Amino acid sequence: MDDMTNFGNTAEARDIRHHFHGYTNARRHMDVGPMIIEDGEGIYVTDTSGKRYIEGLAGLWSVGVGFKERRLIEAATRQLEKLPFYHNFGHKSHGPAIDLAEKLVGIAPVPMSKVFYTNSGSEANDTVLKMVWYRSNALGKPEKKKVIARTRGYHGVTIAAASLTGLPYNHRSFDLPLDRVLHTTCPHYWKEGRDGESEEQFATRCAEDLEALIQREGPDTVAAFWAEPVMGAGGVVVPPKGYFDKIQAVLAKYDILFVADEVICGFGRTGEMFGSTTYGIRPDVMVMSKQITSSYVPFSAILMNERFFAPIADESDRISTFGHGYTAGGHPLGAAVALENLAIIQENDLVGNAREVGAHFRARLETLKSSPLVGEVRGVGLIAAVELVEDKQAKSVTTPGRLGTMMNAAMHRNGLISRNMTDTVAFCPPMIITRQQADDMFEIVAKSLAELEAEVGAPA
């Protein structure tokens, strides 16, 4: 729509003219235009028409302490006035980066050694994959370069991270995944479990599938395994009972590193400081972003143990440098905001709030299972999902994505912003949410579901 007559000379028209959006149908955007968010406070955001919404996905799973938190604004201002930028190349450093590295090592769920800074979860996962390859070379194992992630896992969108991601839209037309990246079974018991198979039997099968893949590829060629404690963008998939214990036993058997992607789960979302704690994961590497600064500043960090770090350090000594880094890696503004953000999370016990309010919200969502359109309710802490179906017994839909898109639109009309992944509707509000606000969110979900039932003519 070249003339954009429906929008005139508005901000919407200028957006259509100049702004190429991520995760958007670029041609359709020219017809429908953007919803422009103008303000945010607490768990709410307001658009340019003045309509207020509950931000039910905390932006993109990320604004843990809510919008317009004065302490973060003031921390950023103080740092900008003191040292607005410096880098960490060539033995340079600065106070916020040092303080944050010490803090992260101190709160890690397992013994860790070093922190490496990047700017996003995607960059962090790309960097870890480069480090895995670098480490294998350092150990004299040039053949040990393959890595395994999971179908429906999400690890980002840069070339290596998108390869790790196990979702078709992140691969199609991009010539991905890279051939060194393999995928194993998605641990979604409700969807992937077989008739008569218990949850623990399904977890055993997932571990057996992983081991069979390692054996087919050759154990000496597989270097690392990637997993989110709870899958986020793949549909809020909560692991079945015993899953990570069984997976870790396989990894230990073949000397394969475990990379825990804590980009969504980290800093309280699962009701523990880290998802790794929730599920007894003992990672070699942890990838962190999103809630580390509540997304007030783009920032990410890689936390690694000595087993991972030492060969890399030795190789950098042999070569004379570690030839990788980012101009803004460890940016003083991001590090200062992260430190204040973590202080807020700990001082206000937002981890406990996520656990308690999350349990209340999920209990309310469970009541929706009486709907003919609700196949499963799942989640942990303050992350949850409702999976919509047309045939509850077959756990199926006729047109994938139709119900999820319609439900998302209904919630939007009713004042709740969320996101559907095909026919799964996800909820991941700011961790400051109160019990009453969670009830308000649930009432919008229930009302929207009733509207969806009427729209599709679902049987009572």
Tell me the β-bridge partners of 118.
300
Handedness of CA 385, 386, 392, 398 (dihedral sign): negative
Are residues 416 and 332 located together in one domain of the fold?
A: no
Q: What is the number of structural domains in the chain? A: 2
Per-chain mean pLDDT for the chain: 97
Q: Could you tell me if 360 and 405 lie in one domain?
A: yes
Nearest to 218 by CA among 245, 180, 175, 187: 180
Is residue 17 a part of any domain in this protein?
A: no
The 10s digit of each residue's pLDDT in 167-199 is 999 999 999 999 999 999 999 999 999 999 999
Does 57 share its domain with 187?
A: no
Average pLDDT over residues 410-414: 98
Other CB atoms within 10 Å distance of the CB of residue 156: 25
330 and 376 part of one domain? no
Q: What's the domain range around 92?
A: 71-347
Name the percent of the chain lying above pLDDT 90.
Answer: 97
Residue 82 has pLDDT above 70, yes or no: yes
Per-residue pLDDT band at 383 (split at 50, 70, 90): very high
* Domain endpoint, select from 323, 347, 371: 347
pLDDT at residue 106, rounded to an integer: 98
Pairing assessment for the beta strands 419-421 and 424-427 based on DSSP bridges: antiparallel
Instruction: Give the residue from 241, 243, 236 showing the smallest Cα distance to 269.
Output: 236
Does any domain span residue 24? no
Sorting pLDDT into bands at 50, 70 and 90, what band is 358?
very high
pLDDT tens per residue, range 283-340: 999 999 999 999 999 999 999 999 999 999 999 999 999 999 999 999 999 999 999 9
The 10s digit of each residue's pLDDT in 240-253 is 999 999 999 999 99
- Render the burial of 83-99: b for 16+ CB within 10 Å, e for the rest: eeeebbeeeeebebbee
pLDDT at residue 459, rounded to an integer: 75
Is residue 194 a part of any domain in this protein?
A: yes
pLDDT at 212 over 80: yes
Q: Which residue has the tokens 């430190």?
A: 339
In a domain, residue 10? The reply is no
Distance CA 199, CA 241 (A): 6
> Would you tell me how many other CB atoms lie within 10 Å of the CB of residue 121?
27
Cα-only R_g, the chain: 22
Residue 434: CB atoms within 10 A of its CB come to: 12
Final residue of a structural domain among 304, 320, 347: 347
Residues 170 and 318 in one domain: yes
Q: Are residues 343 and 355 in the same domain?
A: no
Same-domain check for residues 343 and 353: no
Q: Are residues 114 and 99 in the same domain?
A: yes
Say whether both 212 and 96 belong to one domain: yes
pLDDT of residue 4: 55
Separation between Cα atoms, residue 432 and residue 435, nearest integer Å: 10
Residue 132 amino acid letter:
V
Q: Is residue 430 part of a domain?
A: yes
